[in-house]
Structure 1
Amino acid sequence: MSKTRATRRRPTDPLTLMVEMSVAAGQTIGHRSLMLALAAGDPAALGRPEFTRMVTEKMAVAAETGVQVASRLAAAQWGWAGWFGAQAQLGAAALAASPATTWQHWLTASTGQAAEMASG
């Protein structure tokens, strides 16, 4: 009696993973499209659990993606607003201070804000 042992797949490079995912997505879309086409004229067939799951899955992913996009956009907007505000303050300081001092303040504030925006 021989025992089969499950082999663990090695992680591959991102390009290979992307190609594999693209092929699998194409196969899944083709299969589901054919299922929908075959069931198109039959209301009972359209009530299959697979069709219901497809719709609920798509709605859940769309909602989750929308929340992620909205939160990232809000963070980016706050970052840009802070950067523009700091630029306005530096412009005002330029009128009152020496050019060297203004340049030093601008460089410090800009690089700090750019790093903050990039990490957020």
Structure 2
Amino acid sequence: MQIDAAREAGVEHLIWSTLPDVETISAGRFNVPPYTGKAKVDHIVSSAGFAHHTFVVPPFYYQNLLTVSAPQQQRGGTYGWTLPLNPDSRSFHMADIIELGDIVAGAFARPEVAGTGTGHWWVTS
């Protein structure tokens, strides 16, 4: 496993790109293996014994709205987007793809702050 290889190579600060555990959040109603699968590795990273480890949760990128999630034709012939918004906050975790590098660089620059594994670093704009 890559985590074992990183530890054996002497990595002191591991940055793990993770995603929310959709299965747990939805009480099993939604099956999104790429998300839940990554989330299930979080505990392995936490217990691997690195001096520092940081969880980074990448957002939905604005750029997706022009490519894989471009507007789709709606009933009535208009075009628009269907996005999974939290109905309580009416918000969506989105950012520019370029910002992710700044978050990771910041985590590496300040492992004493970001590398405690006590929370997840979200890219926000």
Which protein is bigger by CA-based radius of gyration? 1
The structure with the largest strand share of the pair is: 2
Q: TM-score, normalised by structure 1?
A: 0.22
Higher relative contact order (CA 8 A, sep 6+): 2
The structure with the largest helix share of the pair is: 1
